Amino acid sequence: MRIVVTNCNTTQEMTEEIVRGARAAAGPGTAVTGLTPSWGPESAEGWLDSYLSAAAVLDALRTYHGPPYDAVVMAGFGEHGREGVRELVDVPVVDITEAAAHLACLLGRRYGVVTTLDRSRGQIEDSLETAGVARNCVAVAGTGLGVLDLAADPGRTEAAFLAAAERVRDAGAEVLVLGCAGMTGLQRVVGEKLGVPVVDGVGAAVKLAESLVALGLTTSRAGSYRKPLAKRRAWGPAPGRP
């Protein structure tokens, strides 16, 4: 089984970190390939970045020339593009936002999300609503750290996460969700300190993708996710042209 994990930004170091987390979660015999968009934002923080990211990820998958894959994991928490990718490819597509929330709902009645900047809260809330899992979310809290700040100072990241997580837990969350793919690995560090389960979206998405492939299931073409209509589409300027 081969899973392609798409980073939502152009930062290759983050792709490598996400792939390490995905491989740690994957079962024996599952190969994980990381895919970094060739254009778009260096970090996705806000609506503009998110829409650019969605188009860049779709373009990266459209032009992918690597080994055949059995599933796609989209490693952008709260980012757009999930529905478009499900139209584009013929394999299961699992978004880390949706995957983490579904697993959290199996572990407690209420969950909360700890993310990076507060400006991402609206996107995450909308994504959870679209996925049908917003009802069980008590709060989405930001740490005040940017996406690219997460790896710079692990001690500061852990402290900021714990402070935000305590607010979410006090609001009634029985389970916590890491609200950024760049937070992968924190669940092992902070889970015991918080006294509640902590779900990493990357690991959750990989395990769900493996399950769908093993069960022989993929995206339905009966309605919303029918293949795109045949038409001319301009994906951007030709190489070498402005």
Written as tens digits, the pLDDT of the chain (242 aa) is: 999 999 999 999 999 999 999 999 999 999 999 999 999 999 999 999 999 999 999 999 999 999 999 999 999 999 999 999 999 999 999 999 999 999 999 999 999 999 999 999 999 999 999 999 999 999 999 999 999 888 888 888 889 999 999 999 999 999 999 999 889 888 888 888 889 999 999 999 999 999 999 999 999 999 999 999 999 998 876 555 44
Q: Where are the domains of the chain?
A: 2-96+203-214, 97-201
So what CATH class is 97-201?
Answer: alpha beta
pLDDT of residue 148: 87
- What span, in angstroms and rounded, lies between the C-alpha atoms of 71 and 206? 9
Q: Do 2-96+203-214 and 97-201 have matching folds? A: yes
- CA dist 216 to 68, 70, 96, 108, 213, Å? 16, 10, 20, 29, 5
This prediction has a pTM of: 0.94
Contact 158, 186 (CB under 8 A): yes
In the chain, DSSP finds a helix count (H) and a strand count (E) of 8, 8
Q: What is the CATH number of domain 2-96+203-214?
A: 3.40.50.12500
